[in-house]
Amino acid sequence: MFLKKNLWGLFFFFIWGTVFSQSKQLERLDVAFIDYAFADVEAENMSVQGNHYNNYSGTLNVNSEYSILLDSLTSKEKKSENFVLNILNINSKYSDYAPSFCQEKLVFSSSRDVNRVSKSFDAFSNQPFLDLYTASKEADKQRIKKLKGKINSKFHESSPVFTADGKTVYFTRNNYSNKKSKTNTEGSVLLKIYQAKYKEEKWVNIKELPFCSDEYSVAHPTLSPDGRYLYFASDMPGSLGKSDLYFVRIYKDGSFGTPQNLGNQINTDGRETFPYVSDKGKLFFASDGHLGFGGLDIFVAMPDEGGETEIYNLGEPINSPEDDFTFIINEENKIGYFASNREGGKGDDDIYGFRQLISFKDYHGRKPNIIRKLERIIETKSTENSSIIVSN
């Protein structure tokens, strides 16, 4: 990440020194979440296990739009036992991460600040603030464009997720609305999830979600396959660790239910963040609280034969000793993307593509071969609004 594995750990946005919730009561993993996220989709897969998993060959639908998109973005490939890792040509010398599928395009967050006369800089990272960009199948430097409309502001935007019809997006932004930023009682600018609508080829009607607060951060949304549930990360009261994963029901009228913590089978006293629910209903997320290779690792939560939720590290080459995060995958096409600040990249954070060669079912029954876990001292600091520099 652009914070380069510093003491801030996970939330890239917490440059203003969010004080994370600690020493909270544990909650069991919500039964409704298990029933929805795993039982409905995973049971369907298991019911055809003989036809689906046992015949898994790792073959790719090379004619799919997902494959064409990945090929158009790839400059180099590296093959491992489990994945083909794709080095992408869309990365810049700045921070590029948080990929998202949207209507046969890849949307991502970047601090490249392309073609701006008036530039805003984050004083902590000394980089332009993050905006949302799109890359098409024919992507080259000229094919990478900012999302149109009012979705990008002078502060950070990142981690978008789109509804299946491409007409609604949920995304993370600093607490900034109506051209004004807001702080908590300690003077820190935190994070909120916002919603935008696509009308007349641009993003409009920006509004924050009702369960956000000026006093804690709510960030990094993802949607269930049917769009009925929104998952996110937060340090709201009741969190087990420095950030936890939550979910909330989205009703047909567009209103929201009450956020619920995913419980101590998922959340730890560390950081769980950047959730993603695949088209097959699997929950992926980044964590430095579960056993990993170092920094943030990417994990998948799957039920075992007894119905208990097990957490599996995706292993190399997806994970590394550095920070690995913002994982997405289309399991039907076995193609996905993630971001990492590992050595050998072009910038602070880089986006990598991959093709899956083995089924996630093969992660059942085996724990990752990990010999160490980095322990890091976390400092919480408070940086006032004066750290935000805007230059014309």
Q: Tell me, letter by letter, the H, E, C secondary structure of the chain.
A: CCCCCCCCCCCCCHHHCCCCCCCCCCCCCCHHHHHHHHHHHHHHHHHCHHHHCCCCCCCCCCCCHHHHHHHHHEEEEEECCCEEEEEECCCCCCCEEEEEEECCEEEEEECCCCCCCCCEEECCCCEECCEEEEECCCCCCCCEEECCECCCCCCCEEEEEECCCCCEEEEEEECEECCEECCCCCCCCCEEEEEEEEECCEEEEEEECCCCCCCCCEEEEEECCCCCEEEEEECCCCCCCCEEEEEEEECCCCCECCCEECCCCCCCCCEEEEEEECCCCCEEEEECCCCCCCCCEEEEEEECCCCCEEEEECCCCCCCCCCEEEEEEECCCCEEEEEECCCCCCCCCEEEEEEECCCHHHHCCCCCCCCCCCCCCCCCCCCCHHHEEECC
Residues whose CB falls within 8 Å of the CB of residue 221, separated by 6 or more in sequence, listed in order: 159, 161, 170, 171, 172, 193, 230, 231, 232
Nearest to 107 by CA among 374, 326, 340: 326
Residues whose CB falls within 8 Å of the CB of residue 142, separated by 6 or more in sequence, listed in order: none
Does residue 7 lie in a domain region? Answer: no
Domain extent, residue 176, equals 14-387
Does residue 178 lie in a domain region? Answer: yes
Q: Residue 58 — very low, low, confident or very high, per pLDDT cuts 50/70/90?
A: very low
Q: How far is CA 155 from the centre of its chain?
A: 18
State yes or no: pLDDT of 338 exceeds 50. yes
How far is it, in rounded angstroms, from Cα 176 to Cα 388?
13
Q: How far is CA 137 from the centre of its chain?
A: 22
Q: Residue 40 — very low, low, confident or very high, per pLDDT cuts 50/70/90?
A: very low
State yes or no: pLDDT of 147 exceeds 90. yes
Q: Residue 131 — very low, low, confident or very high, per pLDDT cuts 50/70/90?
A: very high
Most confident stretch, 130-139, 169-178, 243-252, 302-311: 243-252
11 or 137, which is more confident?
A: 137
State yes or no: pLDDT of 159 exceeds 90. yes
Q: Residue 319 — very low, low, confident or very high, per pLDDT cuts 50/70/90?
A: very high
Q: Residue 267 — very low, low, confident or very high, per pLDDT cuts 50/70/90?
A: very high
64 close to 331: Cβ distance less than 8 angstroms: no
Q: What is the pLDDT of residues 9-19, one digit of tens each?
A: 233 333 222 22
Q: What is the pLDDT of residues 101-130, one digit of tens each?
A: 998 899 999 999 755 544 454 545 556 789
Instruction: Give the pLDDT score at 254.
Output: 95
Does residue 210 lie in a domain region? Answer: yes
Does residue 286 lie in a domain region? Answer: yes
State yes or no: pLDDT of 260 exceeds 70. yes
Instruction: Report the residue count for the chain.
Output: 392
State yes or no: pLDDT of 46 exceeds 70. no
Cα dihedral across residues 79, 102, 309, 322: positive or negative: positive
State yes or no: pLDDT of 49 exceeds 80. no
Does residue 380 lie in a domain region? Answer: yes
389 or 323, which is more confident?
A: 323
Say which amino acid occupies 265: Q
Mean pLDDT of 343-360: 91
How much is the mean pLDDT over the chain?
Answer: 77
Tokens 């369960």 belong to 211
Mean pLDDT of 376-387: 28
Does residue 3 lie in a domain region? Answer: no
Q: What is the pLDDT of residues 303-318, one digit of tens each?
A: 777 778 889 999 899 9
Mean pLDDT of 162-168: 96
Does residue 4 lie in a domain region? Answer: no
Number of domains in the chain: 1
Q: Retrieve residue 382's tokens.
A: 């408070």
CATH code, domain with 150: 2.120.10.30
Residues whose CB falls within 8 Å of the CB of residue 227, separated by 6 or more in sequence, listed in order: 163, 164, 250
State yes or no: pLDDT of 42 exceeds 50. no
Question: pTM of the predicted model, to two decimals?
Answer: 0.78
